[in-house]
Copies of this chain bind each other. A is one copy, B any other.
């Protein structure tokens, strides 16, 4: 029987994210950590056999899972098995000195988290770049904005995209800050008091601090906790998955809205050349990718629940109720956000707008959206305010009813108004209002520009992001 695969890894996440969380990736990260500790120990005067570090470095990428498993069957101790394998490969000794299992496992996990965070930040920047291009492209395409899912006022499609873009950007910035403040547990020993490193370094408090600093720097951590227990506080994991969830929220809202727009045929997530919807119904253009984006968002919400249940539940210096939970929630939340971005970037690459249908919708609703403008014009032209308001309301409601009841197909509100003597506005005046109204998108363009400008700042830090191409999706 074939082993059950991790479905998020197998079907949705990129190779890069898979590599971080793969069994091999974990082994290599562990070895890098051992080497980092060894270097720091050597620099601080601990005896390290000459050439050992170089030997370890030379073989750190040679991962043979079967061999490790074989050793574990004999030693019945997983960490011991991996130490032996590494030492034998290198023909050297000395790793894991002055360390407990948790010094290894907690920090390795954090190293993987940190790398996954950085990869996610890069993907997020790529998504910002792609969305920013689309916002720019559609900056002046007027559409009917909706509140309560009902036509409300004019906006532009680019501006709508900038709206979701800004939410994505907020999430991205929060993630960026989270990364900046992400602290390693450090080499704290069995219960956190650093007893072993202190003994190893002859009781020299300053050296212990320096050891940790160097260890962290080697691995890319800017901060290290001062006083964790056996484990680092699990609210840090919660903060991490919470940041992922927030990051996914802008995309989820965008995807939901595109699914709505597709229902009106205003836009679609696009199709590859040659693709024609379902074979039975060639016209059908399903928003499958957008639905999937919303699905990933919900999956991460589930992982957030797991992390939320660990936070605030530390007993004394720590337990391992969290162990099985973190084995699921940490990799899987990153695999999910990665799948989300791969899918989202595909949508950004292929999405299409249907300007003709958009124009029909605008024409259909515009007279309703301009009733307050008509009122002002009527008053200006000499009508009594109350009378004008009553007349307009009367016709607006009647027109809406006639459309819904099928008596009228097109929105002829302005014709009705022009034909009503109580209102001092003729067809020409009303046509003028309609013409101007179609362009009444306020600061939509400037707001879009503001978003585009902010993304440019992001891309200065992550210049490769704008060229990132997602892998092929299912």
Set of chain B residues within 8 Å of A355, measured between Cβ atoms: 406
Q: Which residues of B contact A22 (CB under 8 A)?
A: 1-2, 4
Of the candidates B170, B234, B320, B443, the one whose C-beta lies within 8 Å of that of A148 is B320
Residue-by-residue, is A216-234 near B (CB-CB < 8 Å gives 1, otherwise 0)?
Answer: 0000000001111110011
Nearest B residue to A409 by beta-carbon distance? B360
Which of B166, B227, B315, B403 is within 8 Å of A233, CB to CB? B166
Task: Using A160-B317, A235-B171 as known contacts, say yes or no to A279 and B248 having CB atoms under 8 A apart.
Answer: no
Q: Tell me the residues in window 136-190 of chain A with beta carbons closer than 8 Å to chain B beta carbons.
A: 145-155, 159-160, 162-167, 170-171, 173-174, 177, 181, 183, 189-190
1/0 per residue A230-274: CB within 8 Å of B?
100111101100100110111111001101101111000000000
Q: What is the bound-complex CA distance between A19 and B4, given in angstroms? A: 9
A18 contacts B by Cβ under 8 Å = yes
For residue A353, which residue of chain B has the nearest CB?
B404
- Pick the most buried of A4, A145, A155, A251: most chain B CB atoms within 10 A of its CB: A4
**A419 contacts partner chain B, Cβ-Cβ < 8 Å:** no
Does A301 interact with chain B (Cβ within 8 Å)? yes
Q: Which of chain B's residues have a CB closer than 8 A to the CB of A208? A: 443
Tell me the interface secondary structure of chain A in the complex.
Answer: helix
Return the chain B residue nearest A296 by Cβ: B324
Q: Which of B171, B286, B314 is A256 in contact with, Cβ under 8 Å?
A: B314
Q: Taking the full assembly, how many copies of this chain does it contain? A: 4
Whether A50 sits at the interface, judged by CB under 8 Å, is no
Complexed CA–CA distance, A292 and B406 (Å): 29
Indicate if A310 sits at the interface (CB-CB under 8 A): yes
Residue among A3, A283, A397 facing the most chain B CB atoms (10 A cut-off): A283
With an 8 A cutoff between CB atoms, is A460 at the interface? no
Q: Which residues of B contact A359 (CB under 8 A)?
A: 406
- Interface of chain A residues 317 through 372 with chain B (CB within 8 A): 317-325, 327-329, 331-332, 335, 339, 354-357, 359-360, 368-369, 371-372
Closest to A189 in B: B442
